[in-house]
Each structure stands twice: as structure tokens, then as C-alpha cells.
Amino acid sequence: MAQAEKLEQLIEPAIVALGYELVGVEYKPQGRHSLLRVYIDKPEGITVEDCEQVSHQVSGILDVEDPIQGQYTLEVSSPGLERPLFRPAHYERFAGSQVQLRLKVPVEGRRKFKGRLVALRGDAAALEVDGIERVFPLADIEHAHVVPDWESLGKD
């Protein structure tokens, strides 16, 4: 199990108990500059106060359990407009949206793909890229996020 998944299992019950959804966790070990980013959400959106509350709770858990060796920075954030996709349910929820993904290993010489998320098919994301439907196993995706439609966001 990856470190991020272990951390999710450790902190998710506390985040849910506070009334938030744990969207996902990113852990980037970089020696003394390691980063633990926790994305939270709730239907009415996330405020700075929400992030502070969750940060305080998560910090306490991490101090007691000590799952990360060495120094790191903890960030608690809303998923924002470029919402990352972590779980299969996220791919289902955002079907029809533009997404960008980066693969762990190149396919046909490419690691990055951008297109319309057609659907989640089993354990794979179907993406329409340049008019062609392509299927990417979720296990092969390093990172994926929603690409905001900036034109429609600017209209009233």
C-alpha cells in the first residue's frame, strides 16, 4: 500500500467526524522539504477556517501516530477548480468534464493526455482525446485533474 493510502486511512475518520469529505492525499517525500497535502470538501465549499480546523486535527493525529519520518509540511486545501481525481467515484462524478491526466509510464511516447472524461469502465477511465476514445487503467494514472471551462466560468 502506498504511503498516501496509509495516511488517508489514518486521518479520514477524523475528517469525516468533523463533517468534511476527504477528497484525497498527496505525499511528496523530498528530504527536509517533504509535503503532505490533504484535500477536503463539503457541499457549501471550503473556507480558510475549515482548513485550519482540519489541519489542527490532522496535525494532532500525525504527532501521536508519527507515520512520516523526518520533517514535512502539512497543507490542507480545498480541491479547487482544477479538482484532482483520486478515487473511482471521482471519475464517475466528473464524467463529461474535461480532464488532464499524467501516466506513470508513457503510452505511444506520451505521458500526458487531455480530453473529455467519457466514463469509468471497471477500473479504467475512458477519455475522448482528439476525437478518439482511449481507455486508461486507473492503476496506470499518476495524477489526474479536472480542467476548468474558463469561458463558462466568466459568464453570468
The answer to whether 90 and 41 have CB atoms below 8 angstroms apart is no
**Domain boundary assignment for the chain:** 3-77, 88-153
Q: Output Rg (C-alpha) for the chain, integer angstroms.
A: 17
Q: What is the pLDDT of residues 58-117, one digit of tens each?
A: 999 999 999 988 889 999 999 999 999 999 999 999 999 999 999 999 999 999 999 999
- Give the CATH architecture of domain 3-77: 2-Layer Sandwich (3.30)
Q: Which CATH superfamily is domain 88-153 in?
A: Ribosome maturation factor RimP, C-terminal domain (2.30.30.180)
Average predicted confidence (pLDDT) for the chain: 93
H or E segment and range at residue 13: helix 3-17
pTM of the model: 0.86
